Amino acid sequence: MRTDLSNWTPLTVSEITRVFSDIPIWWCVAGGWALDLHLCRQTRQHSDIDVIITRDEQLIAYRYLSRDWMLYKAQDGMLDLWEDGEYLDSTEDIWVSKSSEMPWAFQIMIIDTEENSWIYKRDKSIKRPIDEIILKTKEGIPYLRPEIQLLHKAGGSQVREKDYIDFKTMLPSLLQQEKEWLKLSLNRQFPQGHDWIDFIKH
């Protein structure tokens, strides 16, 4: 078990691309880096880097990554080693480093799918076809669509300052249909209202 949650030396986007381009799975960059890839510029410092994979392909990812990396499953506030052949039914968050003493290099977020559609973990009525939730840079790097990334940032139990900064930075660049989807999804998850909805309306 590891407890050094702040011990990070994250890979760059280019390094992540080299790691995952050789693995025969669906994947994309997520988090703040996904928003920066959409804007084609870095808007702030990033303390980590996230990659999304599907639950169905987790063991393929493990088989390739475990050759060079140690993978830890984050659950119940602890980071325990992900064992060879262990299928993760509900774990969503994997932390990756070169060894038990080395800093964390990247996180893997496992998403659930159903009939080739992504399912939003906080409201399973919100879905999108899996191939529609990513975009690609001109270099071919896949990243999570901005409106979906912003939904993840808005939908947590606590919206962090960096999430609000990302939202304000990203909002002017969203297409109208992206704004409408985000607003609809926030209204569905938060029928009592959400602070971001009023900003999207203007």
What's the pLDDT tens digit per position in 92-137?
Answer: 999 999 999 999 999 999 999 999 999 999 999 999 999 999 999 9
Domain regions of the chain by residue span: 13-145
Give pLDDT tens digits for 162-191.
999 999 999 999 999 999 999 999 999 999
Q: What is the pLDDT of residue 7?
A: 96
CA neighbor of 31 nearest in space, from 119, 151, 200: 151
The token duo for 2 is 């590891």
Q: What's the CATH number for 13-145?
A: 3.30.460.40
Whether this model's pTM surpasses 0.85 = yes
Does the pLDDT value for residue 201 go beyond 80? Answer: no
Give pLDDT tens digits for 144-158.
999 999 999 999 888
Q: Which residues contact 172 (CB under 8 A, 6 or more apart)?
A: none
Give pLDDT tens digits for 5-27.
999 999 999 999 999 999 999 99
Q: What share of the chain is helix, strand, coil (3-state, %, to 5)?
A: 35, 25, 40
Q: Measure the CA–CA gap between 189 and 122, rounded to whole angstroms.
A: 8
Does the pLDDT value for residue 199 go beyond 60? Answer: yes
**Angle at Cα 10 formed by Cα 196 and Cα 63, nearest 5°?**
105
**Residue 32 — very low, low, confident or very high, per pLDDT cuts 50/70/90?**
very high
Q: What is the pLDDT of residue 202?
A: 57
Mean pLDDT of 63-81: 95
Q: Measure the CA–CA gap between 174 and 200, rounded to whole angstroms.
A: 10
Q: What is the pLDDT of residue 77?
A: 83
Does the pLDDT value for residue 76 go beyond 90? Answer: no
